[in-house]
């Protein structure tokens, strides 16, 4: 039995026979094209381009059907690549100037861009290279008149093992017999990982050499919770994982009965339990969960994968749809947090080679440089405010001045709308995310200017512990159980409560049932959770005693190391 540790990209357990996809090495030969045949060669390349466009149209239909509109934007990104001058201009130019065949001209152009991508330090951009190759490979296969091997032809249930999996392959997986996949390459933020989560397919990525260590027919276990691949496990290990799998399936079914029940501990402390909303496609399932509200509406999806910012009307429509769907329950709309790993194509971020994009021009810092974008978003939010209960939240706040600047802009937006005769709710609340240690430490100075605070643990942990949240080399140090994190959270809750302001938490820590007892003991008012974990967390809270958790937090704050905190939590009944 061999166990390989990688990056948990999409949760779940998959047990089955491996199907190893050999990397399709396409050997491209350099062929000299006689002068009188060059026009024809360029035409051949153009025909391949058209065929690739048709491929993308077909893929788009499939994505729309399976995943919805938001994910279909990935296809738009591929279309943009196909329309990029690298493809439309550079390749024909190479064919004509160098007198070479289209396949060779294309692969040379791709290789040149590959070298540029490799030099990039930013993981997000390096990951986008796979999109380029996805498109490039389709083009090459059309030129060589080869069909891309279809995963749909696999006729037995299996776990896919490959060097890499392109986003376009991932999109089709739901219609195949593949129950999970493991790849040598990939990171948590790749499109492939994001799609696997949406499709609810177990995935482990970044395994270095899994495709060389597994053979087709081997039995493998993918542990999408721990990021493990177990090759040829003994019968005991298989039995253990089968039990885990059966238990979690039965649990999922039994959780349904919790819908609509109050989120209250055994000793009567109630919590507001809300969901995070990352895209409009999740709206239906969030409503079906009977959540107490949306504690974090991440609006970035509106700004990514496009060259122009969304108009006020488009935004107002999106926010109104969410607010209406939630009826009288609150929807906290966060102004877009672009920057860091969420780089847009709007061309407004800092230099592309920012050494530390997570510490760069991100969130409210970026929008305060682009007041037009911020004001448009605030106006759109105000326009949606009459339809329900809306709150505004500012991301990445590190100084009081930033809050004051947003307040001023909000006033301006109100005045403008009023002058235009547009109605909106006057008393819309404004809150901040506590994601940066300076804001947590100086919270008392922020409180007079805000109506509520919501702790973004994803970032607060990364900045407190100096651990890049997407860097796989330091994931072992990224630690919600660190006593310093617990102390900081405690200080935020106490400081806010002392001034009568409520505190929510909306980072992934809310979606980890092992960490939730700490949040209960800290006495936060609300937790906003990723929809998939919502009922599980509700169940956890309903099984806890608030008083006992308060004592646990006191002990956790006295610990010197995370492992001690972890042990305390493991002993929690
Ligand atoms: C957070 O930082 O915890 C958070 C919820 O924001 P995001 O994950 O969008 O950065
Ligand atoms: Mg954040």
Q: Which two tokens stand for residue 70?
A: 């938001």
pLDDT at position 18 is 96
More confident residue, 23 or 161: 161
Banded pLDDT at 147 (limits 50, 70, 90): low
Instruction: Give the residue, out of 338, 341, 435, 524, with the most ligand 1 atoms within 8 A of its beta carbon, to mutate for a pocket test.
Output: 435
State the sign of the Cα–Cα–Cα–Cα dihedral 556, 393, 389, 306: negative
Cα 502 vs. chain centroid, distance in angstroms?
Answer: 27
Lowest mean pLDDT among 1-5, 163-167, 234-238, 282-286: 163-167
**Counting Cβ atoms within 10 Å, is residue 382 exposed (0-12), middle (13-18) or buried (19+)?**
buried
- Residue 504: CA count within 13 A, CB half-sphere: 29
pLDDT tens across 336-362, in order? 999 887 777 787 877 766 788 889 999
| Count of other CB atoms within 10 angstroms of residue 561 | 12
Lowest mean pLDDT among 183-197, 307-321, 394-408, 488-502: 183-197
Banded pLDDT at 166 (limits 50, 70, 90): confident
Banded pLDDT at 126 (limits 50, 70, 90): low
Banded pLDDT at 145 (limits 50, 70, 90): confident
The model carries a pTM of 0.72
**Counting Cβ atoms within 10 Å, is residue 281 exposed (0-12), middle (13-18) or buried (19+)?**
middle
With 90 as the cut, is the pLDDT of residue 325 above it? yes
pLDDT at position 472 is 62
Nearest of 373, 372, 392 to residue 382 by alpha carbon:
392
Which atom belonging to ligand 1 lies closest to the Cα atom of 460?
A: 2
Take atom 1 of ligand 1 and give the residue whose Cα is closest: 456
Banded pLDDT at 148 (limits 50, 70, 90): low
Residue 152 DSSP one-character state: G
Active site residues: 191, 506
Distant-in-sequence, close-in-space partners of 240: CB < 8 Å, separation ≥ 6: none
pLDDT at position 26 is 67
With 90 as the cut, is the pLDDT of residue 374 above it? yes
Q: Which two tokens stand for residue 254?
A: 């039994």
Distant-in-sequence, close-in-space partners of 335: CB < 8 Å, separation ≥ 6: 299, 364, 367, 374, 377, 378, 392, 393, 394, 395, 406
pLDDT tens across 456-490, in order? 999 999 999 998 877 767 777 888 999 999 999 99
Contact 196, 175 (CB under 8 A): no
With 80 as the cut, is the pLDDT of residue 189 above it? no
pLDDT at position 82 is 86
* CB-ligand 1 contact for 480 (6 Å cutoff): no
pLDDT at position 134 is 80
Residue with tokens 């060589």: 144
Do you know the residue count of the chain?
A: 573
Contact 22, 218 (CB under 8 A): no
Distance CA 171, CA 544 (A): 40
More confident residue, 299 or 280: 299
In the reported structure, the alpha carbon of residue 434 is separated from the centroid of ligand 1 by a whole-number distance in angstroms of 10
Residue with tokens 């877009």: 336
In the reported structure, the alpha carbon of residue 505 is separated from the centroid of ligand 1 by a whole-number distance in angstroms of 10
Nearest of 173, 271, 252, 190 to residue 505 by alpha carbon:
271
pLDDT tens across 217-229, in order? 999 999 998 899 9
Average pLDDT, rounded, for the chain = 89
| Count of other CB atoms within 10 angstroms of residue 292 | 20
In the reported structure, the alpha carbon of residue 183 is separated from the centroid of ligand 2 by a whole-number distance in angstroms of 28
pLDDT at position 79 is 85
Residue 229 DSSP one-character state: E
Lowest mean pLDDT among 185-199, 272-286, 394-408, 472-486: 185-199
**Packing angle, helices 123-143 and 69-83, rounded to 10:** 70
Nearest of 220, 215, 214, 172 to residue 192 by alpha carbon:
172
With 90 as the cut, is the pLDDT of residue 27 above it? no
Take atom 6 of ligand 1 and give the residue whose Cα is closest: 456
Task: Kindly report the three-state secondary structure assignment for every residue of 403-448.
Answer: HHHHHHHHHHHHHHHHHCCCCCCCCCEEEEEECCHHHHHCHHHHHH
* CB-ligand 1 contact for 506 (6 Å cutoff): yes
In the reported structure, the alpha carbon of residue 455 is separated from the centroid of ligand 1 by a whole-number distance in angstroms of 9
Question: Percent of the chain having pLDDT more than 90?
Answer: 61
Q: Which two tokens stand for residue 357?
A: 């994009």
Nearest of 188, 173, 138 to residue 66 by alpha carbon:
173
With 70 as the cut, is the pLDDT of residue 188 above it? no
């Amino acid at each position: 039995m061999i166990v390989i540790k990688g990056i948990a990209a999409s949760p779940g357990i998959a047990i089955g026979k491996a199907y190893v996809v050999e990397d399709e090495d396409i050997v491209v030969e350099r062929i000299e094209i006689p002068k009188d045949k060059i026009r024809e060669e360029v035409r051949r390349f153009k025909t391949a381009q058209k065929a690739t466009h048709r491929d993308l149209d077909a893929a788009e239909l499939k994505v729309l059907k399976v995943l919805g509109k938001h994910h279909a934007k990935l296809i738009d990104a591929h279309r943009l690549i196909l329309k990029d001058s690298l493809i439309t201009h550079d390749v024909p130019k190479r064919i004509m100037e160098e007198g070479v065949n289209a396949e060779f001209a294309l692969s040379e152009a791709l290789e040149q861009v590959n070298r540029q991508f490799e030099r990039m330090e930013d993981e997000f951009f390096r990951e986008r290279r796979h999109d380029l190759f996805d498109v490039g490979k389709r083009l090459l296969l059309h030129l060589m008149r080869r069909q891309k091997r279809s995963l749909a032809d696999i006729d037995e249930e299996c776990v896919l093992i490959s060097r890499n999996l392109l986003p376009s392959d991932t999109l089709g997986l739901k219609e195949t017999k593949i129950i999970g996949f493991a790849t040598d390459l990939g990171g948590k933020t790749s499109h492939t990982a994001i799609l696997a989560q949406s499709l609810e397919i177990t995935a482990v990525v970044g395994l270095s050499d899994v495709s060389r260590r597994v053979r087709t027919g081997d039995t493998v276990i993918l542990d999408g919770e721990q990021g493990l691949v177990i090759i040829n496990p003994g019968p005991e290990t298989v039995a253990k994982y089968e039990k885990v799998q059966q238990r979690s399936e039965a649990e999922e079914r039994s959780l349904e009965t919790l819908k609509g029940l109050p989120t209250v501990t055994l000793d009567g402390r109630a919590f507001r339990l809300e969901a995070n909303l990352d895209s409009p496609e999740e709206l239906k399932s969030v409503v079906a969960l009977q959540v107490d509200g949306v504690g974090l509406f991440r609006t970035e999806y509106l700004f990514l994968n496009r060259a122009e910012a969304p108009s006020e009307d488009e935004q107002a429509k999106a926010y109104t749809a969410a607010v209406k769907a939630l009826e009288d329950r609150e929807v906290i709309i966060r102004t877009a947090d672009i920057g860091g790993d969420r780089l847009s194509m709007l061309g407004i971020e800092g230099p592309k080679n920012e050494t530390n994009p997570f510490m760069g021009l991100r969130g409210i810092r970026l929008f305060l440089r682009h007041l037009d974008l911020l004001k448009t978003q605030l106006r759109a939010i105000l326009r949606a405010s009459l339809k329900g209960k809306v709150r505004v939240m500012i991301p990445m706040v590190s100084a009081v001045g930033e809050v004051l600047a947003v307040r001023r802009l909000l006033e301006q937006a109100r005045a403008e709308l009023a002058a235009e005769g547009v109605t909106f709710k006057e008393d819309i609340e404004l809150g901040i995310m506590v994601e940066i240690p300076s804001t947590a430490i100086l919270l008392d100075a922020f409180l007079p200017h805000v109506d509520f605070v919501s702790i973004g643990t994803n970032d607060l942990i990364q900045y407190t512990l100096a651990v890049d949240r997407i860097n796989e080399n330091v994931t072992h140090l990224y630690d919600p159980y660190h006593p310093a994190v617990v102390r900081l959270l405690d200080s935020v809750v106490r400081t806010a409560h002392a001034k009568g302001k409520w505190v929510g938490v909306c980072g992934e820590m809310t979606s980890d049932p092992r960490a939730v007892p700490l949040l209960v003991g800290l006495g936060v008012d609300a937790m906003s959770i990723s929809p998939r974990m919502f009922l599980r967390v509700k169940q956890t809270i309903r099984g806890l005693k608030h008083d006992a958790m308060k004592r646990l937090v006191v002990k956790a704050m006295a610990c010197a190391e995370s492992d001690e905190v972890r042990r305390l939590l493991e002993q929690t009944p």
